[in-house]
Amino acid sequence: MQISELAEFLENLEKTSSRIEMTKILAELFKKASREEIEDVVNLILGQLAPNYEGIVFNIAERMMLQAVTKAYGVGVDSVRKAYKQKGDMGDVAFVLAQSKKSKTKKLSVRDVYNRLKTIAEDEGEGSQDRKITEVAKLLSELDGLSAKYVARIPIGKLRLGFSDKTIIDALSWMEEGDKSKSSKLTHSYEVVPNIGKLAKLVKEKGIENVSDNVKPEIGVPVLPMLAQRVKSPEEMIKKMGKVCVEPKFDGLRVLIHYKKLKGGDLIRAFTRNLNNVYEMFPELDSIAKHISAKSVILDSEAVGLSPDEKRIADFQTTMKRRRKHDIAETAKNIPLRFQVFDIMFKDGINLMGEAYSKRREILEKTIKDSNLLVVDEVVETNDPNVINDEYRKKIAEGLEGIIVKKVDAKYIPGRTGYRWVKMKMEATSSAKLADTVDCIVMAYYVGRGKRASFGIGGFLVGIPNDEEIMTLTKIGTGLTDEQFRELHTRLKKLKTNKKPKEYGEVNRTLEPDVWVTPSLVVEIAADEITKSPIHSSGYALRFPRLVKFRDDKKPADATSLTEIKKIFKLQ
């Protein structure tokens, strides 16, 4: 497939707002793509070269792309800068300049473009910025206008066409069946091995049935984590789940640990909920082989920061300081931690996800050796609601978030489905406050006035996902410290966009913001209660909302969904 053909599909997708029409266009694209190129096609239409966990990033800022466009078309940097300010999109600038140039374009395939972009992304070291600019310029100069428009957007993360992996899964089903009837099978496969490009290639080669029946965890590829439901009371927990295991809930960073013993050096990975590999945060894991009885293993855990004397647990924000890229060793010394391990999905080549939790627990306890690095969560088995309440109060008294209640015979199922795991973070009898926090996506912000003018932000609008549409939930302008206002503005400046992203649904005119941002930042919000709302597109609003923390470990798809909001509304 020529890159010019792919660009025509992208142009159609950009002009389309209907989700079903997008799915049909993608299905047609996938039919046309060969099995050798479909993985590259899928990655490019998502504006990436590989899934997040592979860590292949361009490291090309907009100013570098501006220089590349200037170099590609032999025009003055001032005129390119002026055009960019007018259009607000580097792709549109490249399109106009490519249309007016006199040199001939080359017939480049999708694979040609993908491989050249990958080479550019992997270029590191001294002088790499200049080389990246030169190579991007050379590539753009060889493309027709439409192709240049989309290729220019990819390295700076501006391709966003309003769909994600979920629509691609639907399109793969549509390609084979003419409808979305096999989306659930593909979703199961994706949750175990979340590489959508690789999944598309397997579907092309083997068909959906053969792919979904043979999927299993792989060392080095993150499994989507299993998540806890919300249930109103311990009595209802026992009614829905029967016999359960009660474990502590820590305010840490969810980490899936992968380990495999190899001759040339062990493979060690640490993945967050948003599938990023954060192994560099945890130099302690270099010694993991001494703490486990296994040649290969996938563990589910919570990384919990400790005070320097290791006598008390640090809060989430302190633990997240480990994410700083510099002075990791010094940070590790100042913020020691341990991994509270609570599940095992894979051991020595055997997939354990289909086993009952009680059996996985037995295997886990035999796998982890006594150590201060990996600690298996304590557990109480019961079918008595009073025991659940007692355990909750004990954990709160110890300074923990609460408890997780797990069905004894539950399989490890990624996502938040069924009543297999349930979290309890507040007294079930309390009705004065919302009994849980809500994870929201920042959609836009409002310029500050008065004192807040110095912050650059006076309030912000957040939403929640409903399928692939993001709906408004609440506007927040109070409950932030000066430091939080400043940090929020710093983060959102990098996400500014000149028009409302396609993922956002209808926004009431009374909520129109000063600045739209791309859906990227997830924040945890506390509130007194959820109320019905005629203004917000979700149909709900938060009363007295306030920022708790930034959730850098979560991606927009991990935010609290509309379905969950409805459930919490009923529970309160």
How large is the average pLDDT for residues 358-381? 94
Rounded Cα gap, residues 558 and 319, in angstroms: 20
- Please compute the mean of the pLDDT values over residues 468-473 and round it to a whole number: 94
Helix (H, G, I), strand (E, B) or coil at 304: strand
At 127, phi and psi to the nearest 5? 80, 5
What 8-state DSSP symbol labels residue 415? B
Position 186 pLDDT exceeds 70:
yes
Query: Which residues are registered as beta bridge partners of 157?
Result: none
The alpha-helical segments, DSSP class H, found in 398-470 are none
Q: Assign 3-state DSSP to the chain and report helix, strand, coil percentages, each to 5.
A: 40, 20, 40
In this structure, which amino acid lies at residue 333? K
Confidence of residue 324 (pLDDT cuts 50, 70, 90): low
Dihedral through CA 111, CA 115, CA 116, CA 120, nearest 10? Answer: 150
pLDDT category at 468 given cuts 50, 70, 90 is confident
Has residue 541 got a pLDDT over 70? yes
| Terminal C-alpha separation, the chain | 54
pLDDT score recorded for residue 105: 79
The pLDDT, as a whole number, for residue 68 is 96
Q: What is the CA radius of gyration of the chain?
A: 25
Q: What is the mean pLDDT of residues 239-248?
A: 96
- 438-571: CATH topology: OB fold (Dihydrolipoamide Acetyltransferase, E2P) (2.40.50)
Element (H, E) at 117: helix 110-122
Which H helix or E strand runs over 542?
A: strand 540-543
Residue 565 pLDDT exceeds 50: yes
Digit-coded pLDDT (tens) for 140-151: 999 999 999 999
Q: For residue 432, is pLDDT > 60?
A: no
Give 38's contacts (C-beta < 8 A, 6+ positions apart). Answer: 30, 197, 200, 201, 204
Distance CA(86)–CA(206), nearest Å, equals 48
> Which pLDDT value is given to residue 6?
97
Q: How far is CA 411 from CA 89, 206, 211, 354, 420, in A?
A: 47, 27, 20, 5, 8
- The structural domains of the chain, with segments of one domain joined by +, span 229-424, 438-571
Amino acid making up residue 379: V
Of 549, 558, 442, which Cα lies nearest the Cα of 495?
442
Joined tokens for residue 411: 């399989």
Q: Structure tokens of 57?
A: 């990033």
Identified catalytic residue from 71, 132, 158, 249: 249
Q: At residue 331, does pLDDT exceed 90?
A: no
Confidence band for 434, pLDDT divided at 50, 70 and 90: low
Q: What type of residue sits at position 176?
A: E
Q: How much is the pLDDT for 430?
A: 44
pLDDT at residue 271 in the model: 95
Contact criterion met (CB below 8 Å) for 321 and 335: yes
Highest mean pLDDT among 28-42, 92-106, 224-238: 28-42
Amino acid present at 114: Y
Question: What average pLDDT does this structure show over 57-81?
Answer: 92
Query: Averaged over 393-412, what is the pLDDT?
Result: 93
- The CA distance from 521 to 532, in Å, is 25
Q: Give the Cα separation of 454 and 447 in Å (integer).
A: 10
CA distance 8 to 41: 13
The dihedral formed by the CA atoms of 407, 413, 418 and 422, expressed in degrees to the nearest 10: 50
DSSP 193-224: S--HHHHHHHHHHH-HHHHHTS----TTSPPP
Q: To the nearest 10°, the Cα dihedral for 487, 489, 490, 496?
A: 150
Task: For domain 229-424, give the fold.
Answer: D-amino Acid Aminotransferase; Chain A, domain 1 (3.30.470)
Q: What is the dihedral of CA 157, 161, 165, 170, to 10 degrees?
A: -170
Task: Indicate the residue type of 30.
Answer: F
What 80-84 contacts at long range (C-beta under 8 Å, 24+ apart), as own/partner pairs, is none
Return the pLDDT at 213: 75
Model pTM score: 0.86
Q: What are phi and psi of 562, to 5 degrees?
A: -60, -40
pLDDT band at 306 (very low <50, low <70, confident <90, very high): confident
CA distance 444 to 326: 30
Per-residue pLDDT averaged across 452-468, rounded? 90
Is residue 498 over pLDDT 80? yes
Mean pLDDT for the chain? 91
Q: Is pLDDT at 235 greater than 80 in this prediction?
A: yes
Q: What does DSSP say about strands 469-476 and 546-550: parallel, antiparallel, or unpaired?
A: unpaired
* pLDDT 10s digits, 111-165: 999 999 999 999 999 999 999 999 999 999 999 999 999 999 999 988 889 888 9
CA atoms within 13 A on the CB side of 373: 15
Whether 118 is a known active-site residue: answer no
pLDDT above 60: residue 429? no
